[in-house]
Amino acid sequence: MLRVLIADDHPVIRRGIRHILEEIVDTVEADEVSDGCGVIEHIARKPYDIVLLDLSMPDMNGIDILKQIKITHPCLPVLILSIHREELYAIRALRAGASGYLTKEIAPEALVSAIRTIMGGEKYINPSLAQKLAFEIDDFSHKKLHTSLSDRELQVLQFIASGKTVKEAADAMHLSAKTVSTYRTRILEKLNLKNNAEITCYAIKEDLVV
């Protein structure tokens, strides 16, 4: 039996994943949750073999959810399924403890392969991501400036680029406005920018707006 927790805020996607799993595994016990709090609550009261986690949850940043899972359940495999491009979040997710990363554009067969690989005790990295990782290691001089941002700084950048004020970003991240302002200052320094307008232009140019 495969005990899986499917975490995504879109019911259609959750049902689609469940259907794929039921086709490849003799017995599947799948639970569905739509937010980060639901993920934390479910894994606290029930054992799972794997968690399939979307990064874009309504109440918590997916990387933060992943980090919390790894604190309380360090051996629980987590496969990230996301709309975000691999080069933006995959490396961050793997560093935070993910067992694999897939975009939602993949074919069902890739999801099956990833789950089987992870359940076999290995990390799943698809060929395109492996190539990008190799390129990043070999070519430090051409790395994008935003790759130096921390997870929190990247999140603040995306909030600012989407038009949110510092207070709105702070409320969404459950942080103080002062802390978010500090992150904003670091973003400006690391990206050599001067104001929110330049942050927005940079985010649009690099396709970082979500």
Residue pair 31/6 in contact (Cβ under 8 Å)? The answer is yes
- Rounded to two decimals, the pTM is 0.75
The percent of the chain in helix, strand and coil, each rounded to the nearest 5, is 55, 15, 30
Please write the tens of the pLDDT for every residue from 106-150.
Answer: 888 888 889 999 999 999 987 776 666 666 555 545 577 888 888
Contacts of 42 (CB under 8 A, 6+ apart): 5, 31, 33, 48
Residue 165: is its pLDDT beyond 70?
yes
| pLDDT, position 133 | 64
Please write the tens of the pLDDT for every residue from 21-46.
Answer: 888 777 889 999 999 999 999 999 99
